[in-house]
A = this chain, B = another copy of it.
Amino acid sequence: MSKCEQCIIKQFNSLKSLTKDELMRISSCKTSMNIKKGDVIFDEGETINGVYCIKEGICKLSKLSANGKDQIVKIVVKGDLLGYRSMVSDEVSNLQAVALIDMKVCFIPKNEIINDLQTNPKFSFDVLKEMAHNLREADDIIVNMAQKSVRQRLAETLIYIHDSFGVNPDKTLSILLSREDFANIVGTATESAIRVLSQFKKDGLISMVGKKIRIENLEGLKRIE
């Protein structure tokens, strides 16, 4: 079992603001777990009794809508904290988390960390900052959903993934998503997402390397109206 106080992953999230003592205590009660691609980490309606620190891998946060479709509201990657809202709220989760690739995560029980949240102002301020940032992102998504076309939303999704999560050595997007995932991010039918991506390919904006997508013309994607 690795030690939190020596783990470099925490540099990417609010846990960096914990003291060495706090980290050692957390380290002693955390659970490391491996999660397979496709596994449900937690489900809508479930009580989440702690926070997941993502050491490796990527997962999607989605919400089932009345018509039976999943809407992906966020992609969470290595370094991020998952389920941190459960620390503050006693409500059950409104989201489902599913691994997009194999993951390694550490689970920190709520009981252990909630105390730190209430006694370490630096830590709680950091969490506050993180939430404020997420709220701002959510505002942007709402506006995009409401006012932009499927083409635009899909182009922006590609750009977002490119800019936020980077590319592989062959320049393909580091995050591999199915057409259905793309559809569930932009909030459209799977067929529509397929059609738009095909068009982007025809237009030379993107290319496919196996199942992976490579952006060929970033500026062109940005100009999509």
Determine whether the beta carbon of A145 is less than 8 Å from that of B148: no
B residues in contact with A190, CB < 8 Å: none
Could you list 15 A-B pairs, sorted by A, with CB under 8 Å? A63-B143, A66-B147, A71-B147, A85-B135, A89-B136, A94-B139, A117-B128, A118-B125, A128-B128, A131-B131, A134-B135, A135-B135, A141-B142, A142-B145, A147-B187
Q: Is the interface of A mostly helix, strand, loop or mixed?
A: helix
Interface range on chain A: under 10, 10 to 19, 20 to 34, or 35 or more?
Answer: 35 or more
B residues in contact with A71, CB < 8 Å: 142-143, 146-147
Complex Cα spacing A65 to B147, Å: 7
A132 proximal to B (CB < 8 A) = yes
A119 proximal to B (CB < 8 A) = yes
A69 proximal to B (CB < 8 A) = yes
Count this chain's copies in the assembly.
2
A127 proximal to B (CB < 8 A) = yes
A204 proximal to B (CB < 8 A) = no
Determine whether the beta carbon of B143 is less than 8 Å from that of A146: no
In whole Å, how far is A87's beta carbon from the nearest beta carbon of chain B? Answer: 8
A29 proximal to B (CB < 8 A) = no
Complex Cα spacing A138 to B141, Å: 9
- The residue of chain B having its C-beta at the shortest distance from the C-beta of A129 within the complex is B88
B residues in contact with A133, CB < 8 Å: 89
Determine whether the beta carbon of A65 is less than 8 Å from that of B119: no
Determine whether the beta carbon of B65 is less than 8 Å from that of A136: no
In whole Å, how far is A107's beta carbon from the nearest beta carbon of chain B? Answer: 19
| Residue interface bits A116-130, CB-to-B below 8 A is 1, else 0 | 011101101101110
